[in-house]
Amino acid sequence: MNQPSHSTPDSDVLVDIRDIHFTYGDRPILKGITLPIRRGKVTAIMGGSGCGKTTLMNLIGGRIKPSRGTLTVDGESVPDLRTRELFELRKRMGMLFQTGALLTDLSVFENVAFPIREHTKLPESILRKVVLMKLETVGLRGARDLMPSELSGGMARRVALARAIALEPMMIMYDEPFTGLDPISKGVIAKLIRQLNQSLGITSIVVSHDVAETCMISDYAYLVGDGRIMGEGTPTEVQKSGSEHVRQFMDGLPDGPVPYQYPADDYVTDLTRSIA
Amino acid sequence: MNTLRVLGGIVINSVERVGRAAMFLYEVLLGSWELLRRFYLVVQQVYAVGVLTLLIILVSGLFVGMVLGLQGYNTLVKFGSANSLGLLVALSLVRELGPVVTALLFAGRAGSALTAEIGLMKATEQLAGMEMMAVNPVTRVIAPRFLGGVIAMPLLTALFSAIGVMGGHLVGVGLLGVDAGAFWSQMQNGVDFHDDIMNGVIKSVVFGVVVTWISVFEGYDAVPTSEGVASATNRTVVYSSLAVLGLDFILTALTLGEV
């Protein structure tokens, strides 16, 4: 394990999550997660569907507040920020949603220009250059006039990525960036995540359950399950882990600590029960 | 006991929802204030909810006016007052039918479209995406649509009434032989700017606020699934129509001062 202990504050840590609990109604989603994310690294948060990965992202982005615990981004306590301060912080964060979340009434160009128009007063000629540069980065400069409905899933996610880097953020959160994509598009997205991290020094948080692609691009990985951290380390360390929970997830085993069967009464009793 | 519990639950949920809608309106009004600097966003929405609703408003207005002309003539002619047809058509349209029918049509065409659009933006994470880009969706998406609806409604009502009068004229003067001079002069003498026209204008502004408020709130509050958006759209039409008819009675009673 190449990460130091989580107990002391570290200026190298951009997102510091300590003992975070989150409850949705009566259902506990996160049960005391401690998870530091280092500057300039690609950190993967992996886990099965419904394990609380997206909840973690929403907590980091300040869209929801934790029931307990502390969460700081670049030294600022996110749950304590007022709306205006939170919006200022979000200008330095990018987020790539699973669906891309492109504005369907705007063209590709206008989608990428959207955050720039909202937050800066750049003259149109410079704005055009900036947008074309961002689109060139994701290889879609030629698609500038297309509407979101004309894009494939992979292209939509690349446009969303260009939009996410439009304001040159310090970090980007990727929510299931590989889900529903063909192998070529997966490869393109993986390459872009790595490339943006290396060329722009952007800290990246990749939330995903695609083991192969995520391990390929990440520097450090956390495995979340049942609202807790089940394993962590470099992708190689995680893949070699002896933990039963980690093994089940990494090897895609249908049964294990995460049971195949949803909790129910005894099968035979259930079948022979008379319908009153 | 169980029925009482269910009933209590419904009442609490309803009150909570009304409270949420009121808080939402407050946020929208704050957002509207900020839009003064970016009024082009409102103009775009006046086009989307106003201009694109024009066809149904004009066609309906024309036919409502024609029916009024026909029905009015048949009744008035029995009392030898067919010359008052213009006054009857104008008062019916300006005071009642104009604001009410326009608001009902607006709820069905533009209101439901607003709810579906906002609901789908929520379901496809477009609103969440804006929040994460540090853009307040209430200011950027909801407030322009709200103001667009509030501005469009009185304009559509005026056009509905105007085309309705034309329809009444077409049937009364053109087909049934009412004297054109009497038609217009009775109207000119009998319609009071303050008591009649302003009454209609006030109604249309109130309906504009209420129908657009319901439409944008239902969209913003929709469960982000296809079923959720469908029921939100349904609620918009039902609640808006009921609110318009209920408020019409209250506003009429207040302006006439007879209840």
pLDDT-based confidence at residue A10 (cuts at 50, 70, 90):
low
Tokens, residue B228: 């959720």
B234 min Cα distance to partner chain A (Å): 23
CB B125 within 8 A of CB A101: yes
Nearest to B168 by CA among B258, B241, B73, B34: B73
pLDDT-based confidence at residue A258 (cuts at 50, 70, 90):
confident
Partner residue facing B132 (CB), from A95, A99, A102:
A95
Segment A172-199 mean pLDDT: 86
pLDDT tens per residue, range A89-124: 999 998 998 888 999 989 999 999 999 999 998 999
Q: How buried is residue B209: exposed, middle or buried, by Cβ count under 10 Å (0-12/13-18/19+)?
A: middle
B13 min Cα distance to partner chain A (Å): 16
Nearest to B111 by CA among B121, B103, B99: B103
How high is the pLDDT of residue A276? 60
B193 DSSP 8-state letter: I
Under an 8 A CB cutoff, do A101 and B131 touch?
Answer: no
B191 DSSP 8-state letter: -
Instruction: Give the amino acid at A154.
Output: G
Whole-prediction pTM value? 0.85
HSE (side-chain half, CA atoms, 13 Å) at B14: 7
- Three-state SS for B26? helix
pLDDT-based confidence at residue A248 (cuts at 50, 70, 90):
confident
* Chain B hits for A103, Cβ within 8 Å: 126, 129-130
pLDDT-based confidence at residue A168 (cuts at 50, 70, 90):
confident
- Three-state SS for A40? coil
How high is the pLDDT of residue A240? 79
How high is the pLDDT of residue A257? 72
Per DSSP (E only), the strands in A141-261 are 171-175, 203-208, 220-225, 228-233
Looking only at the bridges linking them, the beta strands covering A171-175 and A203-208 are parallel
Q: Which residue of A has its CA nearest to B38?
A: A118
Q: Which residue of A has its CA nearest to B124?
A: A101
pLDDT tens per residue, range A218-232: 899 998 888 888 888
* Chain A hits for B133, Cβ within 8 Å: 90, 114-115, 118, 163, 167
Q: Which residue has the tokens 């006054």?
A: B87
* CB of A168 less than 8 A from some CB of B: no
Please compute Rg for chain B using Cα positions. Answer: 21
Under an 8 A CB cutoff, do A101 and B126 touch?
Answer: yes
Alpha carbon of residue B6 to chain centroid: 34
How high is the pLDDT of residue B120? 94
CB B85 within 8 A of CB B172: yes
pLDDT tens per residue, range A23-54: 888 888 888 889 899 998 999 998 877 778 88
In this prediction the ipTM stands at 0.81
* β-bridge partners, A72: A16, A77
pLDDT tens per residue, range A60-91: 999 999 998 999 999 899 999 998 899 999 99
A213 min Cα distance to partner chain B (Å): 24
pLDDT-based confidence at residue A4 (cuts at 50, 70, 90):
very low
A91 min Cα distance to partner chain B (Å): 6
A250 or A32, higher pLDDT: A32
> Which residues of chain B fall short of a pLDDT of 50?
none
Segment A203-225 mean pLDDT: 87
* Chain A hits for B121, Cβ within 8 Å: 104
Size of interface A-B (CB pairs under 8 A): 50
Residue A128 has pLDDT above 50, yes or no: yes
How high is the pLDDT of residue A9? 55
Q: Which residue of B has its CA nearest to A103?
A: B126
Beta-carbon contacts of residue B170 (< 8 Å; ≥ 6 apart): B65, B66, B69
Q: What are phi and psi of A209, to 5 degrees?
A: -115, 10
Tokens, residue B207: 């309906």
How high is the pLDDT of residue B1? 72
* Segment 173-232 of chain A within 8 Å of chain B by CB: none
* Chain B hits for A118, Cβ within 8 Å: 133-135, 140
Under an 8 A CB cutoff, do A104 and B126 touch?
Answer: yes
How high is the pLDDT of residue A245? 74
Segment A116-134 mean pLDDT: 92
A54 min Cα distance to partner chain B (Å): 13
* CB of A97 less than 8 A from some CB of B: yes
